[in-house]
Structure 1
């Protein structure tokens, strides 16, 4: 492989990087919020089914396409379907645009996380005015911390695959897990946590076929695994040929689902703990209040009720959220950067700052038009863009790629795969089941 492109130096490095991309605010901010808004345990039940039955097969399709292509998403898809260059460009470039748009709203939310991480420090050091400014949403604060987060992302991506993406993913992911488990242990000892666990773990099966729940669960599964954004095609292109893609894909999916589920064990009980302490969580008709900013309204109220220790817990929680955001943002920036480097001959540093700057401008436009654009961009990308592009990737792998060539690519790292249960199911599954199921859910949402 060209040294210009780079490569993951180890199996663990790829798993941490791909899991880092998958494990982000989609798991720790989005998943619990979606769970609370869509029937609690019923949403969890549907999400788990869709994650393994639709998201994992689609995830595998993107990884295989990427490693075969050894290039950015557009080039990789064109290698599979050389007679359909326009369609390949539309799908590949569509995924890149989707990744850039996700990062544009993602950076805003991550900026909130950074601000909330610094607020307890300002409180402890008696900088009350600064703490109030950090805790209150304002145009100046949002612009500053959005820009700061994008610059952090640029700094990591500019270092390349091994020294940037892989190095920092291996550091940040274990830290994220450690903080998450410590917070869960604390919250579950508080009054009201048992009621939260019941809401999270005991499903109402009458809600399972609710169309809105199905659409939200599918969007969440694709969003949390970074599907439909060209990200996993790019990461797949950085995997050595002798690696077993089937097991790698399974590990990443399991880690992603596990951390999403574990994050729910923190956020949902924390909501009910806050409710037991007088914080209003649900409206009179049972709908969740302040869905987009739930963690910034409910959890600070909970932390404040804890006294001095609450400042430590608040710092730990929002540091966790910031780490989760960063592990995902580096993959979303990598998608357009790799395309720019490989197609326009720019060096990585120039491309990273150029693309990062463009995304920052889009983020600023959203901040200035927050009420009209923020929710719109989220819905456009996660509920429509990602499932559609993920569906087209399944079509490429299932319909446009010769079956023998597809098998040969997987065999490179998994001898005897043709005799495995995976190969007996997966090829026809991505050819028929995945595109049809995704299309049905998508059209139902329209």
Structure 2
């Protein structure tokens, strides 16, 4: 059996892997779509506030739990207390979060399969395979199943190799490439006619929309989804982090990279929408609502690429390659968390655990595909908008209410010996203990 505890070899490896988990389809598909549907700059402003006030403090909490116990999330949460009822509650919380994570990966694999299809379609057209390209672009059960399965196999390939040879190695390769593609694509789009209108919408907030309850709860849900909070991913990666690392600073790097990618994605997608509109593609309805809101990058952007002439297929391939890279860096972390739990709880070999979890997620994805109209949006809303913030809140409360404060301080002092004298220590514990619960409950209740 594989009993050796996995670990990241370097701090950079952890940062890129954790940022890769955070940076995904949620940033490049979800965030710009939410921004376009909820006032552009107003959503951006509220999103940044949610990252600072709620997501970052909860990110520190999850990574701390992982590093403190160096166990899978079920065992780590169970071992925060010696009291039997808290131990049972902790184990149950870990199980629930891993179930939510599996649901997220199940719809994530479907969306990522679409990305692969839209990346390959223009390539097939360039090669003269028009029928294959049409099949890839046509929404169908067969297409969705095939591309979902292909994406899951890519994810399995990385996770089977382990933390160092799989997750860390591929994160170090893919994350820099993602940044290069994202910046290059954004700079290109900004040179096209109509892009300036989208840039203004994105960067100039409508302050009258900022207090909308729907906007606020969606911004919070997007922040938690983007940073992979409440689903044991960051807790799992925290267990692989060296004791010498300063958790608040390392978490700040992760949150900063993730937020930067979301911001850059907005600089790409929103101007691209108005470039498409300038080229005759309808992006808003008569009532001002965004058309194809849930499938923005699959409806509006391909239509825009078609108006770019001979450059269109190459721009389309580059854009969807960017999306696929972002998807893989997130999916490997989503598969790793339940695999690690199965490995420790059931004394299961990594290779076997990977295939078991992949089979379960693939089965869930298949059920969603066969019941797409009734399940797809429902699973997304329940898992990301509500369950992620709720479970992140549970983790934060367990760390600050259940674990003794002196144990928490000792855990943080391993990477920062003088942290007890810092403003972070003076503010963060009581902030997570008292303020975050109130804010999260208020936002959910308002929504």
**How far 1:4 moved relative to its partner?**
2.2
Listed one character per residue, the Cα deviations across residues 48-70 of structure 1 (whole Å, up to 9, x for unaligned) are 00101100000000000000110
Assess if the C-alpha contact under 8 Å between 2:118 and 2:320 holds in 1. Answer: yes
- 1:195 equivalent among 194, 197, 204: 197
Assess if the C-alpha contact under 8 Å between 2:80 and 2:87 holds in 1. Answer: no
Name the structure 1 match of 2:167. Answer: 165
1-structure distance, mates of 2:76, 2:294 = 36
Structure 2: runs of 5+ lacking an equivalent: none
- 2:233 equivalent among 209, 231, 234: 231
Would you say how many aligned residue pairs link Structure 1 and Structure 2?
A: 444
Name the structure 1 match of 2:41. Answer: 41
Name the structure 2 match of 1:213. Answer: 215
Name the structure 1 match of 2:341. Answer: 339
- 2:284 equivalent among 282, 285, 303: 282
- The 3-state SS of whatever aligns with 2:221 is helix
Name the structure 2 match of 1:153. Answer: 155
- The 3-state SS of whatever aligns with 2:294 is coil
**How far 1:82 moved relative to its partner?**
2.8
**How far 1:202 moved relative to its partner?**
0.4
2-structure distance, mates of 1:209, 1:202 = 16
**How far 1:5 moved relative to its partner?**
2.4
Name the structure 1 match of 2:442. Answer: 440
- The 3-state SS of whatever aligns with 2:230 is coil
**How far 1:155 moved relative to its partner?**
1.0
2-structure distance, mates of 1:86, 1:343 = 15
* 1:8-19 equivalent positions in 2, closer than 5 A: 8-19=8-19
TM-align CA RMSD: 0.9
**How far 1:98 moved relative to its partner?**
1.1
* 1:303-322 equivalent positions in 2, closer than 5 A: 303-322=305-324
* 1:352-363 equivalent positions in 2, closer than 5 A: 352-363=354-365
* 1:356-371 equivalent positions in 2, closer than 5 A: 356-371=358-373
1-structure distance, mates of 2:427, 2:26 = 29
Assess if the C-alpha contact under 8 Å between 1:24 and 1:328 holds in 2. Answer: yes
- 2:275 equivalent among 266, 273, 276: 273
Listed one character per residue, the Cα deviations across residues 338-392 of structure 1 (whole Å, up to 9, x for unaligned) are 1100011110000100110110010011011111100000001001110000000
Assess if the C-alpha contact under 8 Å between 2:292 and 2:300 holds in 1. Answer: no
1-structure distance, mates of 2:274, 2:5 = 48
- The 3-state SS of whatever aligns with 2:245 is coil
- 2:413 equivalent among 407, 411, 432: 411
1:79 equivalent in alignment to 2:79: yes
Assess if the C-alpha contact under 8 Å between 1:6 and 1:161 holds in 2. Answer: yes
**How far 1:3 moved relative to its partner?**
6.0
Listed one character per residue, the Cα deviations across residues 240-259 of structure 1 (whole Å, up to 9, x for unaligned) are 11111111000000111111
1-structure distance, mates of 2:446, 2:21 = 28
1-structure distance, mates of 2:168, 2:82 = 32
2-structure distance, mates of 1:180, 1:82 = 48
1-structure distance, mates of 2:226, 2:444 = 17
Name the structure 1 match of 2:127. Answer: 125
**How far 1:81 moved relative to its partner?**
2.1
Name the structure 2 match of 1:248. Answer: 250
Name the structure 1 match of 2:92. Answer: 90
Listed one character per residue, the Cα deviations across residues 224-276 of structure 1 (whole Å, up to 9, x for unaligned) are 00000010110000001111111100000011111101100000000010011
Structure 1: runs of 5+ lacking an equivalent: none
1:55 equivalent in alignment to 2:60: no
Name the structure 2 match of 1:258. Answer: 260
- The 3-state SS of whatever aligns with 1:413 is coil
Name the structure 1 match of 2:67. Answer: 67
2-structure distance, mates of 1:435, 1:87 = 18
2-structure distance, mates of 1:300, 1:200 = 21
2-structure distance, mates of 1:30, 1:104 = 16
1-structure distance, mates of 2:258, 2:273 = 22
TM superposition score normalised by structure 2? 0.98
Assess if the C-alpha contact under 8 Å between 1:215 and 1:383 holds in 2. Answer: yes
Name the structure 2 match of 1:300. Answer: 302
